[in-house]
Amino acid sequence: MRFAMIERGEGAVPAVAMPGGGYLDLPASGLPWRDIEGIIEAGDEGLEAAREAVKRAQGPVSAGSGGGAAEAQGPVIRDAKLLCPLSRPEKILCIGKNYSDHCRELGSPLPDRPVLFAKYRNTLSGPGGEVELPAVSGMIDFEAELAVVIGRRCKQVTPEGALRGIFGYACANDLTMRDAQTADGQWTRAKSPDGFCPLGPWIVTADEIPYSGSTPDLGIRLLLNGEVMQDSRTSRMVFGVAELVSFLSQTMTLEPGDLLLTGTPPGVGMGRKPPVYLRSGDRTVVEIERVGSLETRMR
């Protein structure tokens, strides 16, 4: 399933993408949760309730369809505006230097353990949105990333147990002020301006994503104004998704709804000669196979 937050009236509601198109408004379908975090926190009950709502909305197969797709009925929104799928993660954890060829382009040795930093809720922005570039920086970079959404409490789990704790996946763009990153000697200010974590366009549940060993094997790329800048596969991570979740859970409890950005492949602006940094009017698109496409405009 693909869970999205959609604009409805003056607010936002959780929805599921329908097989035949459009989005099913889950509260209007009788579900009690007002955001995707609520569905995640409900565990198996939340997922099963959403599945049943989709079945009810599809209704009986229409006559003459030959047993094909069911006719969508009920509160299905055809032209929904998608919003950021998460609004209240307790933690936004991020991994640096997690693709070997990205380390090479930065002239950095491969890490012997995951390089961890954090973002905050103020950085979240949604699909198709605009991000205001801080005037204090002239070196703002793009980073396509596979985002992992935690579905169950994970405390000191094994890599095998970590996979059972994942709710789903989304596209993310880890925007970074490179000048602040260099000047500060640590990454908090560089990574945390408002809107610097575009996320979306939805969350694809883990059962729809195939694994290769400890991590999905998915094409991941970023386009800047239509030009491909990053193009790799998530299987090229130094530390796979299962390893990352297990590693983090040894010292901090991961809660349902927590967000993990798993690192970026090569092709970032800082690694280019000459460097390429974002300017007002630029458009980035993060594309991840089986997950979706996330567009962001800069101003």
Q: What is the pLDDT of residues 53-74, one digit of tens each?
A: 999 998 764 434 444 444 445 5
Domain that includes residue 221, residue range: 92-298
pLDDT at 146: 98
Residue 126 backbone dihedrals phi, psi, to 5 degrees: -100, 175
Collapsing DSSP to helix, strand or coil, 293 comes out as strand
Q: Are residues 75 and 119 in the same domain?
A: no
Distance CA 141, CA 147 (A): 18
Query: In terms of domains, do 106 and 188 share one?
Result: yes
Same domain, residue pair 130 and 203: yes
Q: In this predicted model, what pLDDT tens digit does every residue of 208-254 receive, in sequence order? A: 999 878 899 999 999 999 999 999 999 999 999 999 999 999 999 99
Please give the pLDDT value at position 129: 96
Domain boundary among 83, 115, 140: 83
Q: Is residue 175 located within the same domain as residue 287?
A: yes
Last residue of a domain, one of 83, 103, 137: 83
Q: Which of 25, 51, 83 is the last residue of a domain?
A: 83
Asked if 3 and 205 count as a contact pair (C-beta separation under 8 A), the reply is yes
Instruction: Give me the pLDDT at residue 60, please.
Output: 67
Residues 152 and 68 in one domain: no
Whole-number pLDDT of residue 74: 55
Distance CA 204, CA 190 (A): 29
Helix (H) or strand (E) holding 54: helix 44-58
CA atoms within 13 A on the CB side of 181: 17
Residue 185 and residue 246 in one domain: yes
Same domain, 7 and 40: yes
Mean per-residue pLDDT pooled into runs of 10, the chain (299 residues): 94 95 96 98 97 90 43 75 97 95 80 96 98 98 98 97 96 98 94 98 97 90 98 95 98 98 96 96 98 98
Reduced to 3 states, what is the DSSP secondary structure of residue 266? coil
Contact 176, 157 (CB under 8 A): no
The answer to whether residues 141 and 163 belong to one domain is yes
